[in-house]
Structure 1
Amino acid sequence: MMYDCNLKIYQTLNVQSEFNIGLLLLYIIEGSSNISINGKTNMYKSNDMIVINDLDHYRILSSKKSVIACLFLSRVELDKFFRFNKKYYINKDKLDLSVLKFYMNKLIVNYVNDQSENEKQNKILEYINQLVMTLHLYRKLDGTIISNNIDVYSGINYMYEHYKEKLYIGKVATQCLLSVRRFSNKLEEVTGMRFNELLRNIRLSYSAFDLMYTKKLISQIANDNGFTNESGFITHFRDKYHITPAKFRKQLENDHYYPFHNKNTTLLRSFEHINDQIKYLTDRDVDYVSIDINMKNKIRSKISTPNLLIYIRDIETLTNNFQQSKLLSMRREIGLFGLLFSHQLFYELYQSNFENNKLVHQMFSFSLEHQFDISFEVKLGKNQNIEEFTLIFKRLLNYLTDCTYFYGQRSFQFYIDASYYQFNRISKIIQDNLKESKVILVLNKQNNYLAKRMSHKVNDNKQIACKVHHEIDSDKDITSILKNNPSLNILYQPNIPNRIESLISIFKWSIAFNQNISMIIDDTWLDSMIPSQSTHLMIKELQLNKESHYQLFELILTLKRLRGDIVYFNGLILMTHYLNEYQIIIFPNMKIFNRLHQRININGFKLGEIEYRHHDILIKNNQLIINSDGDTHQNMAEVSFKREIGKLIVQFYTSPYAIKHIYIKQKIN
């Protein structure tokens, strides 16, 4: 239902004076239009995209031959429907208009095409959602809006946040530190509306949202949105929208709601004369995006390559000859990685006489002889007897002390998920027995607050780590902890193996906050992560590969190979530089694209003759990408290079189904 209210195609769109609260996107399909934004007027022509920001004044004048598509996203939709996270103000200087044009093209095509109402609605909502998520990347945060009237803007925001309450102009003026008269005059100057009119419009916007997306009674909607009675609400709603709330709700699907009410504005009802343009948009399945990267402006922070830990649940992983060969095969493939012994495994061994257990000796001899980094997981409940546990734990430390004598390895790591008091007790015991070992406090919901108090405790032997299982864990609390603790480690332990999107999200998160990340992979996934040398297991492994186990391993391998400085990162493309080599990771583009052609212009590129290699990590069941016509895109994997003076141009195709890794280095003849 939302697209009936948000997306419109107009022939002749003339709006003399408006005050925008939300985001307004205009796409000129045919003709031209004079559009004024905050007093600055420009002439826009066919195929131009215009973004009108929150709290902007605008004026639109077009001729009868012009056709303009308009997408209006009010604060209500952005806040409730899309969770847009204020501010609703887009940095238009950095905005990639080509991506927005692509989404608008798809919106228009589905809006005018003949298809069932439900199918049309679902597609429109999907494209609007993708478009808004793109805008979200370019939003400006609080404090970056025009500073001249920031006090009035803060008053408007306060009215939005408290619109359900009984608001008086005196209360809002006090919040802005202005007199009532001064605030009233400035509010009318900025918005063109007086206080009561603006407050009423805010309440009506939220009421319209409730009418669209809820089944509440009219009386309940009036009460929930700050109106004193139902009759008053109906009167105000009819005055603004020229329709009663009940009829508005009934006629949503019949295209009876108009964002603009100017008499000179005409809604386009017949699309016959723009069929050629629509056909062009329909047939266009490739979008072209160009990005400029200047080597002089490269980010100097070193990229922290991820560590890999194999989570040992079963003692057979380290005692069975076949499983041991798997681990050694993985080492040949990706280099060094560590072993993390689960708390559950060792708790079971604690119950037995593990000092004399031959399997335990075999497990440690294999691990230490092949010089694996060894870590231990320690979990303690809040009410668990610490004295009883320490007695058992000292037996393990005593055993490890003997191991250091025989094998020479003196450093171990202990990930302790316990209260701060328990952590201190255990860490002291570890330091008394294995001085060179590291102890890491794993944050959980009970001890998150400790992170802010632990900064002075962090040193070579004591660290803090935050465990996440998937991107949903990346909440505001963890983000604030990361900002305050630059030395915090991230432990990423997916619950299921095919969480590739999750790993990408966590890896981007670690780059944004410049954090170390350790990826913990369950030992039960090993069979599928390394192709077997034994043919009788191939059928089983092929079946597991379809569930993306091997793809996850391949992505981890790619990320571990990254090194050097971060030259460029925009959330989709990561470029690193190390001596005479460059690496480019292209993460999957948004799932709306059939194909996306990227062009990267690397300015200040100083290498002479180059050589390169690249590979694609397919994340859709290892299948080739098929377009809507059933043809395979033969050129999806192509990467081309072009040299100009002081510049290297890299061109390639991306899709939502693949991660692309491009490695460039100087050629030695």
Structure 2
Amino acid sequence: MKFYQTLNVQSEFNIGLLILYIIEGSSNISINGKTKKYKSKDFIIINDLDHYRILSAKKNVIASLCLSRVELDYFFQFNKRYYINKDKLDSSMLRFYMNKLIVNYLNNKRKKEKRNKVFEHLNQLVMTLRLYRELDETVEYSMTNDINKAIDYMYHNYKNKLYIGEVATKSLLSVRWFSDRLVEVTSMRYRDLISAIRLSYSTFDLMYSKKLISEIANDNGFTNESGFIGHFKNKYGITPGKFRKQLENDQYYPFHNKNTTLFQNFEQLNEQIKYLTDSDIDYVNMDINFKNKLSSKITTPNLLIYIRNIESLTNNFQQSKLLSMRREIGLYGLLFSNQLFYELFQSNFENNKLVHQMFSFSLEHQFDISFEVKLTRNENLEEIIMFFKRLLNYLTDCTYFYGQRSFQFYIDASYHQYNRISKIIKEYLKESNVILILNKQNNYLAKRMSHKMGDKNQIACKVHHEIDSDKDITSILKNNPSLNIFYQPKIPNRIESLISIFKWSIEFNQNISMIIDDTWIDSMIPSQSSHLMIKELQLNKESQYQLFELILTLKRLRGDIVYFNGLILMTHYLNEYQIIIFPNMKVFNRLHQRLNINGFKLGEIEYRHHDIFIKNNRILINQNSESEGNNKDTEVSFKKETGKLIVQFYTSPDVIKHIYIKQKIN
């Protein structure tokens, strides 16, 4: 971060994000040929590949924050496929973060303290910017898709000896056409652009590693150390060694010309900005009108326990845990993993007592049973079918003894393999469902051939991480309203991902099945034994219990969707209302919200709520129907007016809040 008394920069080509914040005065800034006069407190984002020109007078003060593409990739998983949609920016919230960042930066600069707070606020700022990111395939850049592909290829192969002919050939372009178009788009020749990319990555190594200069040169595609030093000095006006030494003294700045000067009077600047950030609470009013309520029903998520080992269903302790979960959250299913499937495949399972015990426990307690089956293209399909016939024959006997006739089979295979297996299943278990798991080979089926899937044959998409920006899956959802989404986190603290997928399911009205690993159950349900509780408290640090609490909360939702804006979800069922407030990443600390619910017709009400604290790995449940709590963060208040209910509460980026309201019976 730098502060400029005057900032006059000729047209540049940006690799990363450049954030400008005008503190005093005004400045004429041109981005991609469009010039606009920006005034005090304006927040400006310059994306990757944007051309820009900045012209400001001597009395101006402009804060500049440069986030290189390497830093964005490494620290914030904000890779170059995304850009910031500047038309949708919430400038007030971004100014709030920027003020906090600047004040703490200046305080730390003056006091020479550690910069932990600075990085925390920087993280909050970038996480907020992530809310406005979009895939760059949708942005109308002046460059063509072919140039996009070529630049992307340069990014991926910058460490290698990379000739212009190779890049042009890989992008199916002629060298001359590619060279001319690259200059039009980037204002840089090929040699300068590949050098800029390499310098961007090498600067990252200089800042965040202890590598020798020669190692950095070699690791980033330069032929030798002297060549690297020459390129670095030509671009930045300083040698790599001096740059590294001056980092602590804060003498390096990115813009180099005679008309640009750094700001010096930091004391005055600190006082000027501090008054803007004295309060850490913002107040927001929202109106909810029942006349405009959504007509769609809330799709309650399903839950499947992913069974990796037979012991999970044969060990008495694990069995009690599963039954305790049944009492806590109601019905859920068991998904036998592909690993367990192959263990049965390789053994004489019909005569195995543990297998009998496993199925006996599952069927006696009326768990829905599902099987995960993954097949490669080289799999011996005939052997698999023979095993399937044995397994299906065994399950047919189980239906005779226990009465359960329906099983689920999730097949991750090619469409040909899926067809063969589904026909065999229908021969033995007519009432069972067969679900095809999407993969790259059968995406076409999901997009164009879903009409061929019968009532008992369905399509599902299995995901592990956040997917809200996945264009391929979104296009599949639009064409397949009956598509199932399977969320299976590899680690238990993917709470942001679950929230993202749940919101996504509301938008497209999709079914979600959440798959929880059987190894996490120990810490999800409290034990009666003290020594086990100690073990579970250690596991709780990995957020298993938080994930369980969130799943439990989502499963309790029912009825019509009254209101949903991405942050607040309200549902209505008979004489009850439920409100979910998701973490608000747009605010720095806390947010006081007031919901004005118009058209509310219930008489006297009672309520309860609980808060899930997801950042500090702790759970605080506050149930209160009479009086308000002492902690403002967990406080909820209600006020009745004619035809209106006013709900007020505090929330923050760390909290998921669930409020349950129903009519009071005297």
TM-score past 0.5 threshold: yes
User: Given that residues 155 and 176 in structure 1 are in contact (C-alpha distance below 8 angstroms), is that contact kept between their aligned partners in structure 2?
Assistant: no
User: Given that residues 205 and 216 in structure 2 are in contact (C-alpha distance below 8 angstroms), is that contact kept between their aligned partners in structure 1?
Assistant: no
Out of 634, 659, 669, the residue aligned to residue 631 of structure 2 is 634
User: Unpaired segments of 5 or more residues in structure 2?
Assistant: 622-628
Out of 13, 24, 39, the residue aligned to residue 18 of structure 2 is 24
User: Given that residues 22 and 38 in structure 2 are in contact (C-alpha distance below 8 angstroms), is that contact kept between their aligned partners in structure 1?
Assistant: no
Out of 599, 618, 622, the residue aligned to residue 622 of structure 1 is 618
Out of 65, 68, 84, the residue aligned to residue 90 of structure 1 is 84
Q: Output the CA distance in 1 between the equivalents of 2:224 and 2:312.
A: 70
Q: Output the CA distance in 1 between the equivalents of 2:534 and 2:394.
A: 40
1:209-259: per-residue Cα shift (whole Å, max 9, x none)? Answer: 413425475798499668x99878766654553334443344333323223
Q: Output the CA distance in 2 between the equivalents of 1:63 and 1:264.
A: 9
Secondary structure of 1:552's aligned partner: helix
Q: Output the CA distance in 1 between the equivalents of 2:467 and 2:571.
A: 27
Distance 1:573 1:157, change over 3 A: farther
CA RMSD of aligned residues (A): 5.3
What one-letter code is carried by the residue in structure 1 that aligns with 2:600?
A: L
1:183-214: per-residue Cα shift (whole Å, max 9, x none)? Answer: 79x94xx98x6x54x96377346415413425
> TM-score normalized by structure 2?
0.74
Distance 1:206 1:576, change over 3 A: farther
**Structure 2 match to 1:393:** 391
Instruction: Count matched residues.
Output: 632
Secondary structure of 2:529's aligned partner: helix
**Structure 1 match to 2:651:** 654
Distance 1:439 1:350, change over 3 A: farther
Higher mean displacement: 272-281 or 440-449: 440-449
Matched, 1:268 2:263: yes
User: Given that residues 593 and 655 in structure 1 are in contact (C-alpha distance below 8 angstroms), is that contact kept between their aligned partners in structure 2?
Assistant: yes
Distance 1:645 1:116, change over 3 A: same
Matched, 1:520 2:510: no
**Structure 1 match to 2:591:** 597
What one-letter code is carried by the residue in structure 2 that aligns with 1:242?
A: G
**Structure 1 match to 2:532:** 540
Q: Output the CA distance in 1 between the equivalents of 2:271 and 2:181.
A: 52
**Structure 2 match to 1:363:** 361
Out of 334, 339, 347, the residue aligned to residue 329 of structure 2 is 334
Out of 420, 425, 436, the residue aligned to residue 430 of structure 1 is 425
Out of 237, 242, 260, the residue aligned to residue 237 of structure 2 is 242
Out of 103, 120, 129, the residue aligned to residue 97 of structure 2 is 103
Distance 1:524 1:14, change over 3 A: closer
Secondary structure of 1:254's aligned partner: coil
**Structure 1 match to 2:401:** 403
Deviation (angstroms), 1:430: 2.7
**Structure 1 match to 2:409:** 414
1:285-329: per-residue Cα shift (whole Å, max 9, x none)? Answer: 445567777878877655432112345567787789987776565
Secondary structure of 1:519's aligned partner: strand
Out of 195, 202, 211, the residue aligned to residue 210 of structure 1 is 202
Q: Output the CA distance in 2 between the equivalents of 1:527 and 1:428.
A: 39
Equivalent runs, 1:121-136 vs 2, <5 Å: 124-136=118-130
Q: Output the CA distance in 2 between the equivalents of 1:199 and 1:357.
A: 65
Higher mean displacement: 231-240 or 436-445: 231-240
Distance 1:60 1:488, change over 3 A: same
1:419-478: per-residue Cα shift (whole Å, max 9, x none)? Answer: 656544443333223212212244579988876686354222112334445559998887
Equivalent runs, 1:183-198 vs 2, <5 Å: 187=184, 196=189
**Structure 1 match to 2:626:** none
Matched, 1:607 2:600: yes
> TM-score normalized by structure 1?
0.73
1:581-624: per-residue Cα shift (whole Å, max 9, x none)? Answer: 6543233355x977321536668x43245745421123444366
Deviation (angstroms), 1:339: 3.8
Q: Output the CA distance in 2 between the equivalents of 1:346 and 1:426.
A: 17
Equivalent runs, 1:6-85 vs 2, <5 Å: 7-10=1-4, 12-15=5-8, 17-19=10-12, 21=14, 22-29=16-23, 31-37=24-30, 40-42=35-37, 44-45=39-40, 47-53=41-47, 55=50, 57-64=52-59, 66-74=60-68, 77-78=71-72, 82=76, 84-85=78-79
**Structure 1 match to 2:370:** 375
**Structure 2 match to 1:556:** 551
Secondary structure of 2:659's aligned partner: strand
**Structure 1 match to 2:132:** 138
User: Unpaired segments of 5 or more residues in structure 1?
Assistant: 1-6, 626-631
Q: Output the CA distance in 1 between the equivalents of 2:521 and 2:77.
A: 39
What one-letter code is carried by the residue in structure 2 that aligns with 1:338?
A: G
Equivalent runs, 1:193-342 vs 2, <5 Å: 196=189, 200=192, 203-204=195-196, 206-213=198-205, 215=211, 217=213, 221=217, 237-277=232-272, 280=275, 284-286=279-281, 302-311=297-306, 330-340=325-335
Matched, 1:455 2:458: no
Distance 1:20 1:377, change over 3 A: closer
Q: Output the CA distance in 2 between the equivalents of 1:231 and 1:545.
A: 55
User: Given that residues 452 and 485 in structure 1 are in contact (C-alpha distance below 8 angstroms), is that contact kept between their aligned partners in structure 2?
Assistant: yes
Distance 1:473 1:275, change over 3 A: closer
**Structure 1 match to 2:624:** none
User: Given that residues 498 and 547 in structure 1 are in contact (C-alpha distance below 8 angstroms), is that contact kept between their aligned partners in structure 2?
Assistant: no
Q: Output the CA distance in 1 between the equivalents of 2:658 and 2:106.
A: 39
**Structure 2 match to 1:587:** 582
Q: Output the CA distance in 1 between the equivalents of 2:386 and 2:450.
A: 30
What one-letter code is carried by the residue in structure 2 that aligns with 1:516?
A: N
